[in-house]
Amino acid sequence: MAAIRILPAGKYHNPELLKIPNFLHLSPLAIQKHCQALKRFCTKWPAGLDTDEKCDKHFPLQIKTQEFAFSGTSIRWPDYRIVELSIKMCDLPLDSHATDKMKRLLRERYNKKTDTITITASKCPTRKQNYEYAVYLLTAVYFESLKVEEWEDEKTEEDWEKFYWDKSESKKTIVSYMKQIKPELKDEEILNDQRVKSFSESVSRLFDQKEDKSSLNEYKRNVLQILF
C-alpha cells in the first residue's frame, strides 16, 4: 500500500484556506449568536416594499446565482460563476416595432407565456464578469431593437408577428367603403363607429389566435353589420 506524503506548509502559506469555508459545522446556538452580533449592522426592510408586486414594480431586473458549500482546498465551484438575468418585456420602454424586433432577436430566450426575457451567462471565469456580460447583452439587444433599418420598411403584413389594425389594408378598405356610402363622413367618425371597432377586434383575433368556428362566426357577423 503506497504511503501518502503530506507536504509541510510553506513560509507564506495560509492555513485558513484549508479550513471548511462554511458554517455547517456550527450548532444552532452558535449560529444564533453570530446573527445577533450581525443584527446591529443591518437596516430595516423598506416599508414601501411589503409585497412581491411592489418589489417587481420598483426592481424589475432579477439576477439569480447559485451558492455551493463543500469541503475542498478551493472555494470556487465551476457552477458558482453562472449568472441568470431575467426581466419582463412589458417593463422595458418599447414601442410595437421595437418589441417585435426584440422578440425576434432573443428567440428562445423570450418566454411568450410569461412575457419574460431570460439571459444566462456562463462563459466568463468569474461571476462578476458573467453578470456584466449578461447586462451588456440585454443592453445591446435593447438598443438594437430601437433601430429602424431601411430594409425594415419593406415589411408586409405576411411578415408581421402580430396583426396591427392601424397599419393593415383591412382598415383602409373599410374606411374607403364607408366613404363611398356616406362621403361626408370623416376618418375619425368611421373608426369610432362601434361596428367598425367590433370588426377590427374580430379581424385581429382571427389573425393572432387560432382560427376556429367561433372566431369565423364572429367575423361573419361583424361583416354583415357593416354591409347591411
Adjacent-strand bridge partners of 63: 85
pLDDT of residue 89: 92
Which has the higher per-residue pLDDT, 221 or 86? 86
Extended beta strands in 89-152, E state: 110-111, 116-121
pLDDT tens by residue, 169-211: 888 888 888 888 887 878 788 788 888 888 888 888 887 777 7
pLDDT at 122 over 70: yes
What the block records as the C-alpha cell of 55 is 418589489
Percent of the chain with pLDDT over 70: 87
Helical segments of 13-114, H only:
28-39, 52-58, 96-106
Give the C-alpha separation, 132 to 136, whole Å. 6
Mean pLDDT estimate for the chain: 82
The burial class, CB within 10 Å (0-12 / 13-18 / 19+), for 114 is exposed
Cα–Cα distance for residue pair 215/200, rounded to 1 Å: 12
**Residue 169: its pLDDT value, please?**
81
Q: Which of 204, 203, 208 is nearest to 220 (CA)?
A: 203
52-151 CATH fold = Double Stranded RNA Binding Domain (3.30.160)
Read off φ and ψ for residue 64, nearest 5 degrees.
-115, 130
Amino acid type, 220: K
State the pLDDT at residue 26: 80
pLDDT of residue 16: 65
Pairing mode, strands 110-111 and 83-88: unpaired
Task: Kindly state the average pLDDT of the residues 5-25.
Answer: 65
pLDDT of residue 21: 62
Residues 6+ apart with CB under 8 A from 219: 202, 203, 206
pLDDT(7) > 60: no
Task: List C-alpha distances in Å: 192 to 184, 188, 204, 223.
Answer: 15, 6, 17, 16
pLDDT at 194: 83
Residues of the chain with CATH 3.30.160.20: 52-151
Q: Of 43-52, 93-102, 139-148, 169-178, give the range with the top mean pLDDT.
A: 139-148
More confident residue, 163 or 82: 82
Q: Which residues pair with 86 in a beta bridge?
A: 62, 118
pLDDT score for 193: 80
Model pTM score: 0.64
What's the confidence (pLDDT) of residue 1? 47
Beta strands in 90-196 (DSSP E): 110-111, 116-121
Residue 78 has pLDDT above 90, yes or no: no
* Cβ pair 187, 178 in contact under 8 A: no
Which range (13-17, 91-95, 146-150) has the least confidence?
A: 13-17
